[in-house]
Chain A
């Protein structure tokens, strides 16, 4: 039903807040693996999350304080909302310092090793989302 779809698009365009509620559908159609997701979140080279965030990771000595704690992220946000923030949080807050983990356009002077590549793969995004959903208050 094209009319209903147009209405939704119009609503989304008018109220960016709704996009947050809306979030984003799975990138792979396959549920992610929370254990792999945790490993990605705590690695400096892959996830980079703890450069900015802290969280319930008592074994990790160096955690950042540039961003809210990841503790309780799974209670505060829906699966779709978490995914949207990982894929491209700039759609919600263009000024955010959080990198867009699944975006390649609109970037400046990307190093040759990273050109055309997303920070995480679609599978990795789903793994991280699955893990964040387990972080409940």
Chain B
């Protein structure tokens, strides 16, 4: 016991040293770049507007019969969001969390499909993802996800739009600098769905990605497109170890 305790502090720096080659800097959530007032709003559940959607999602979870298969979400859904996108054996493709919720409703419950960026699906997604708040992002070691992750990385590095900029040029090369008035975050998907002050509402990661794509004057993909799932699959590997924040608040 005593030896194990002693070995730990020695082993840790060594492990960090060995892992050091992979990533130059430790990943940092966009939370770190926010104004103290916005950080305070996210931290305080009574001030965080995203909690309204989480509550709505809790009600929907019970009403829609999710409990029938999954029981109580705080037990069964803890950790789910940290592992998505995951491999979907039926579709033989990666699926994101909102996609899985839809699949449960439509395929298993025979319910009518929900709109991708509509309030009910946002609320359910926020409620499920909220159960993983504080847990580290932990993408599965699943070789079937490798092609999607590779595609996501290629899309992340591809220059696009009339302004001819790639995600990497802002979020890898210029993170922390100021684009006009806004600090550029590293672009980690830690807080979705999240409440954005500019939106005056809750929005998904896909909505954020569409904003960035439109910002460089490129044509966003349609909601639910496999390209977004691929980008998310890559972003989650890139953000490995960062704590989930759903529902986060962003400017």
Interface residues of A (CB under 8 A from B): 44, 48, 50-52, 61-66, 90, 97, 99-100, 107-114, 117, 119
Contacts and interface: CB of A to CB of B under 8 A. Distances in A.
B159 interface: yes
Contact of B162 (A51, A65, A66, A114): A114
A64 B178 contact: yes
Nearest to A54: B178
Contacts of A52: 179
B83 interface: no
Contact of B180 (A63, A113, A117): A63
Contacts of B174: 66, 97
B181 interface: yes
A97 B162 contact: no
Contacts of B181: 61-62
B169 A117 contact: no
Main secondary structure, interface of B, reads loop
Contact of A64 (B163, B173, B180): B180
Contact of A111 (B162, B177, B180): B162
A108 B179 contact: no
A61 B173 CA distance: 24
Nearest to B218: A109
Contacts of B180: 44, 50-51, 62-64
Contact of A66 (B163, B164, B177, B214): B177
Contacts, number: 65
B56 to A, nearest CB: 33
A93 to B, nearest CB: 13
A64 B174 CA distance: 11
Interface residues of B, number: 20
A51 B214 CA distance: 15
B161 A107 contact: yes
Nearest to A117: B162
Contacts of A44: 180
B178 A66 contact: yes
B162 A119 contact: yes
Contact of B158 (A48, A61, A62, A108): A108
Given A66-B177, A108-B159, A109-B161, 8 more contacts: A44-B180, A48-B163, A61-B181, A107-B160, A107-B161, A110-B217, A111-B219, A119-B163
A51 B164 contact: no
A86 B177 CA distance: 22
A65 B158 CA distance: 23
